[in-house]
Amino acid sequence: MGVLFEQALAEAAARAERRIVSALGDAQGPVADAMRYAVTGGKGLRSFLVFESARLHGVAADDAAAPAAAIEAMHSYSLVHDDLPCMDDDDLRRGQPTVHRKWDEATAVLAGDALQTLAFQLVAETPCPPEAACALIASLAQAAGVRGMVGGQAMDIAAETAAAPLSLAQITALQTGKTGALFEWAALAGPRMAGAQTRALQAYARDLGLAFQIADDILDIEGDAATVGKATGKDANAGKATFVSHLGLDGAKQRARDLVQSACDALSVYGAEGETLRQAAAFVIARNS
Amino acid sequence: MGVLFEQALAEAAARAERRIVSALGDAQGPVADAMRYAVTGGKGLRSFLVFESARLHGVAADDAAAPAAAIEAMHSYSLVHDDLPCMDDDDLRRGQPTVHRKWDEATAVLAGDALQTLAFQLVAETPCPPEAACALIASLAQAAGVRGMVGGQAMDIAAETAAAPLSLAQITALQTGKTGALFEWAALAGPRMAGAQTRALQAYARDLGLAFQIADDILDIEGDAATVGKATGKDANAGKATFVSHLGLDGAKQRARDLVQSACDALSVYGAEGETLRQAAAFVIARNS
């Protein structure tokens, strides 16, 4: 887990958080406080992908701060709502009480709502040609909507009461929406800002997203709540179909390694410049939280 | 309540709904179904304002369909979330069961989330110069966010447990965010698409939004649930400060009439072309639902 990547990740997370806090300005009250709280302490992987894809396409880090902040705001909104009692009913997130536990459900609903709005506000503030900004916004809406992230979450909720457990193909489709769509948007933000076409980063992001989710399933079994920062063992206790329940623990680990290899192969077009993204792929399956 | 207006309102509502349904395409499952359900049966006042402001600034109705649909999607999302048990806990909306009553809370949270996303997707699809599209998107994010609609709703929730009832100035600030911000965005969508500056429609929309809310407070007292399409008498039962509790029933009616007059005065620059908007202002305080 190279030094290049560790530095870049920490810097990306800090930059994105600063940009969100600055956009919120002096907004007061529990909802604004809950928004600041909800964007704190994340790994910053999605904002890192925005900054790296921007760098690879000649876009300055300062210009990438707005879309990087946007994707973290969007991700944070989804976590706040997913943690609600009517959804996954989680008490712990990133090692801290979830928003509805620290405040209340109404505040969590509103803070999540406003974080989604803020995500679009931030993308609209991206300093790039208006055509590129419109493309960023339209693609973010696709990634977050009922055919993307929310669609994946809806499949996840529906699976809980379904007669039969999900097949591997269904789990893959679910996770491609729930996690993969935002990863993909983040990894394509740089080329979109530069008006460039690239299949390399799209392929990379797809494999990375799936590897990330498989690693999450493994952490749910092998990790402990204190380190992971959220409840573990939930899927197995609920008898939920996951990559691990289908492939076994070893099979899942092998699949994740294969995906990381395939993600790295997709970066060949960037040569040595792609090294930080390769380290990121290795991190995704080596992390313990 | 002139014929011009009645026709224009019905047409606007139908056009906006068609555009939303078309954007949802063949999306399946409870969340997509709940989204279609939630955008059905509204008055269409916000989409009407988009179409009218577009017409007054030389923008074709076909081109205004996307932002008109966007503002109805945004409004519908706010209703679905406001009706949740942890918020206003309403069973009835537009004369039908609320989304969380017809489906469940998780579906209502996700359908609201995806309707907000859809709103931004639709605005991004507006056929106008990219600069204008970016301005539409940025202003919609401002109107919907923690300093706009969500901010107003947060003040409303906070007021329920506050030590002292809200002052008239505080209620006005609350409603300017909760209801006024989307009205204003809708009334400025046309000039924004045309790249025009106008204070007339902004002044009109502000007065219209407040008049609308005062009429809502009056309906909460004078209306019956069957006609209004949602529970009535809630504010008085909860001892909530409203325009009526501050101004009295007659005072509130007079204030609403004054606001409608002032809204109509602001339209003088449009001459006879502003007639439909004047009829809309009269409708806002004459409606019984």
User: For every residue of A151-206, which 3-state class applies, written as one string?
Assistant: HHHHHHHHHHCCCCCCCHHHHHHHHHHHHHHHHHHHHHHHHHHHCCCCCHHHHHHH
List of chain B residues whose C-beta atoms are within 8 Å of the C-beta of residue A162: none
Residue of A nearest to B100 (CA): A86
CA distance B39 to chain A (A): 15
Q: Average the pLDDT over B179-188 and give the result.
A: 97
Q: Is B146's CB within 8 Å of A114's CB?
A: yes
Report pLDDT for A91: 95
E-strand ranges in chain A read 92-93, 96-97
Residue of A nearest to B132 (CA): A130
Return mean pLDDT, chain B: 94
| CATH superfamily placement of domain A3-286 | Farnesyl Diphosphate Synthase (1.10.600.10)
Report pLDDT for A227: 78
Question: What digits encode the pLDDT tens for the residues A34-68?
Answer: 999 999 999 999 999 999 999 999 999 999 999 99
Q: Name which residue leads in pLDDT, A69 or B164.
A: A69
**Do B235 and B242 contact (CB within 8 A), yes or no?**
yes
Residue A202 has pLDDT above 90, yes or no: yes
CA distance A79 to chain B (A): 12
Residue B1 has pLDDT above 60, yes or no: no
Per the DSSP assignment, residues forming a β-bridge with A93 are A96
List of chain B residues whose C-beta atoms are within 8 Å of the C-beta of residue A133: 130, 134
**Do B27 and B61 contact (CB within 8 A), yes or no?**
no
Q: How far apart are CA B175 and CA B181, in angstroms?
A: 9
Residue of A nearest to B125 (CA): A138
Per the DSSP assignment, residues forming a β-bridge with B96 are B93
Q: Is A121's CB within 8 Å of B142's CB?
A: yes
Q: Is B150's CB within 8 Å of A117's CB?
A: yes
**Do B156 and B139 contact (CB within 8 A), yes or no?**
no
Report pLDDT for A184: 97
Burial A4-37 (b: 16+ CB within 10 A, else e): ebeebbeebbebbbebbeebbeebeebbbbbbeb
Classify strands B96-97 and B92-93 as parallel, antiparallel or unpaired.
Answer: antiparallel
Q: Is B130's CB within 8 Å of A134's CB?
A: yes
Question: For an interface test with A, which of B105, B110, B170, B174 has the most A Cβ atoms less than 10 Å from its Cβ?
Answer: B110
List of chain A residues whose C-beta atoms are within 8 Å of the C-beta of residue B150: 31, 110, 113-114, 117
Residue A186 tokens read as: 């983040």
Report pLDDT for B256: 96
CA A77-A78-A84 angle, 5° bins: 95
Residue B287 has pLDDT above 90, yes or no: no
Per the DSSP assignment, residues forming a β-bridge with B93 are B96
Q: Is A114's CB within 8 Å of B84's CB?
A: no
Report pLDDT for A64: 98
List of chain A residues whose C-beta atoms are within 8 Å of the C-beta of residue B151: 27, 29, 31, 114
Residue of A nearest to B124 (CA): A138
Comparing CB atoms, the residue among B110, B125, B131 nearest residue A150 is: B110
Q: Is B109's CB within 8 Å of A105's CB?
A: no
Q: What is the pLDDT confidence band of residue A1, given thresholds at 50, 70 and 90?
A: low
Question: What digits encode the pLDDT tens for the residues A203-247?
Answer: 999 999 999 999 999 998 888 877 778 777 777 777 789 999 999
Residue B227 tokens read as: 């006609």
How many CB pairs below 8 Å do chains A and B form together?
Answer: 147
Q: How far is CA B157 from CA A32, B129, B245, in A?
A: 14, 39, 18
Q: Average the pLDDT over B205-231 and give the result.
A: 88
Q: Average the pLDDT over B141-149 and give the result.
A: 97
Residue B225 has pLDDT above 90, yes or no: no
Report pLDDT for A68: 98
Q: What is the pLDDT confidence band of residue A197, given thresholds at 50, 70 and 90?
A: confident
